A and B are shown apart, each in its own frame.
Chain A
Amino acid sequence: MIEIAGVTRSYGAFKALDDTSLSIREGEFFSLLGPSGCGKTTLLRMIAGFDTPTSGSIAIDGQPMDGIAANRRPTNMVFQSYAIFPHLNVAQNVAYGLKRLRLDAGEEKRRVEEALAQVSLSGLGSRGATELSGGQRQRVALARALVMRPKVLLLDEPLSALDKKLREQMQVELRRLQQAVGITFVLVTHDQYEALAMSDRIAVMFGGRIAQVAAPKEIYQRPVNRQVADFLGGMNFVKAEIVEESGASIIVETHGFGRVKTDKPQAFVRNGKAATLGIRPERLRVLWDDATSSHQVTGKVVDRHYFGEITHLIVEVPGLEKPLSVSETNNFGADDIPVGAAIRLAYDPDALVAMAD
């Protein structure tokens, strides 16, 4: 649907986007995820046509987009600031792009109402643009873009201005809407939970480059490097040494976890013998009483953080240079484990992931 081939965008010597290639499929909910300043907006604006690549090319639906102005592209955008026209009311805002199509009045009205219904704003058509709440403005911006029936809908951090509750509600609604209309959505966000919750696939970007493109689960469980792993949530990193690398799997030797065989991550680039083994805090389980597991480590609790439904235990394990962070639900009493207690932690070897350093 969208083919981005070797796109670079330079500002002087600085490359906001560096030789980026990406292929976005038809009808998918695709997210660009990365920290502030990594070039997400730059890439989105080039898809929309507000910016042109210094080199490389972008094609939408098989059509090369070089030299095609933003107003002639089959894309529509939901701006971060929503960009609601202040001198027009809600219905006029939504009808803005339709005017050019010269539909007859009844058809135009029907499409505006349909779009307003899609975003649950029916009946608010005559409201002034300045009389709307943040969430309502966001919906108007969405309706205004959807009513054009674009091939691609581009969303630049559409939820970042909303409070937490509303944001979570809109995540669900956006996802539902995308499935209902079947349009390709490209969402820019720096919120990893948002990306994980909504997307079919995610591209994680750092410093103008794409680090990994994969489905949410894959990205979370099998990050290609420490940077990606870190950005998507807490991760325990353990120094490892590569013992054997063959085809799809890799064997590493660590102090705390011994010899581990894992799937080789995509785009694994070997850098000498050094590697990193990672495990997410919630994949370590506390072993109670005399329960045992064939995969376990023993350590001492050195700190404890209480978060209501879960507790974070910081566990020192002999042989590991850094203590492990363990996230345990509180329904078995993890919040009652005293600091200084000796505990055993079980893990699933599948939860271990080897990463390039």
Chain B
Amino acid sequence: MTAAAEGSPPLRATRSRGGPLLQSEQAQGMALISPTFLYALVLLAVPILVVIAHSFWTQNYLTIDRTFTLENYRVTLTEPIYRDLLFRSLYISLVVSFVTVILAYPIAYFISFHGGSRKNLWLFLITIPFWTSYLLRVMSWKVILGYGGVLNSGLMGLGVIDEPSTAFLYNTTAVIITLTHAWAAFAILPIFVSLEKVDRTLLEAATDLGDGPIRRFLRITLPLSMPGVISALMIVMIPTVGDYVTPRLVGGKDGVMIANAIQAQFGKASNWPLGAALSVTTMVIVTAMAGITVFILRWAARRAR
């Protein structure tokens, strides 16, 4: 009784003292982030709203008719050319993201588990290609994959082929190769981070309980690094769908992607509403594809137990 009576006043005191403190801390936090937050919100939301609005309007030569219509979406979803471009873009981004992650995982694994004291050096080396501009990197792939390029002369030197092949450049494969290379570092980093977070004693515990290196990897390391794998997939998948430069430079006719079509609508064809509808459709489909991928991977990880 006495203890309770004695205990309550200080309790109340701390509470009433804690309240305003918390509020002011929150207020301070809000005040601190608000300029950046507003800036980001404006830059993100306004263009999207503008695009969404346009997608329901119609282009009349130089003016825009602002009556609501779904015509642009009908064209987007039924015109074979846009459907093909959309599918190709999704296919390319899916392949690129999975190939990138599959190639990035062993590198991240090596750095995390065998990098020793030189982990930072390894990470630094990985960023070196980014010292040159993206355009230059894409151009160098042109040099490698082109008609008189490194790959062709190498294969001819080895006697594998007699004359230069045109099969390497200006097609979907070239786009996939170039994008995979371009995004590798972005995939390595999140996987590396999640591998670093795997407690090494868990691996010893798994070994202690009878697992060899492969089972241990499949049962402990892989599931625990899944968050990194998923974010790597998303980081690569989402932007590659809308990539514009790479298909333009190394894609040729076969490698054209949806972003090139969107650019054409906003540019030469001067049909902003159709371009907007293509953009919105792409956004929705990419979101759905990303969501489904995450869902499937999570489900698979749970099943694997």
Give the B-binding residues of A (Cβ under 8 A): 48, 50, 69-72, 75-77, 79, 81, 83, 85-88, 92, 96-97, 100, 144-145, 148
Contact = CB atoms under 8 A, between A and B. Distances in A.
B209 A76 contact: yes
Nearest to B209: A97
24 contacts: A50-B207, A50-B208, A70-B204, A70-B208, A71-B207, A71-B210, A72-B210, A75-B208, A77-B205, A77-B208, A79-B201, A79-B204, A79-B205, A81-B201, A83-B205, A85-B206, A86-B202, A86-B224, A87-B223, A87-B305, A100-B210, A145-B208, A148-B209, A148-B210
A148 B208 CA distance: 10
Residues of B in contact with A, size category: 10 to 19
Contacts of A75: 208
Which has the most chain A C-beta neighbours within 10 Å: B204, B209, B223? Answer: B209
B220 interface: yes
- Give 7 closest A-B pairs by Cβ, nearest first: A97-B209, A83-B205, A83-B201, A100-B210, A77-B208, A70-B207, A71-B207
B196 interface: no
Contact of B305 (A79, A92, A97, A144): A92
Nearest to A70: B207
A88 B204 contact: no
B201 A76 contact: no
Contacts of A144: 205, 209
A96 B219 CA distance: 9
A81 B206 CA distance: 14
Given A76-B209, A97-B209, A83 B305 contact: no
Contact of B206 (A96, A145, A148): A96
Given A50-B208, A144-B205, 20 more contacts: A48-B208, A50-B204, A50-B207, A69-B207, A69-B212, A70-B204, A71-B208, A71-B210, A75-B208, A76-B208, A77-B204, A79-B201, A83-B201, A83-B202, A83-B204, A85-B205, A87-B305, A88-B305, A100-B210, A100-B215
B212 A71 contact: yes
Nearest to B216: A71
B211 to A, nearest CB: 6
A71 B211 contact: yes
Nearest to A147: B209
Contacts of A83: 199, 201-202, 204-205
Contacts of B207: 50, 69-71
A145 B206 CA distance: 11
Contacts of A86: 202, 224
A148 B205 CA distance: 13
Contacts of A71: 207-212
B202 A85 contact: yes
Contacts of B211: 71, 100
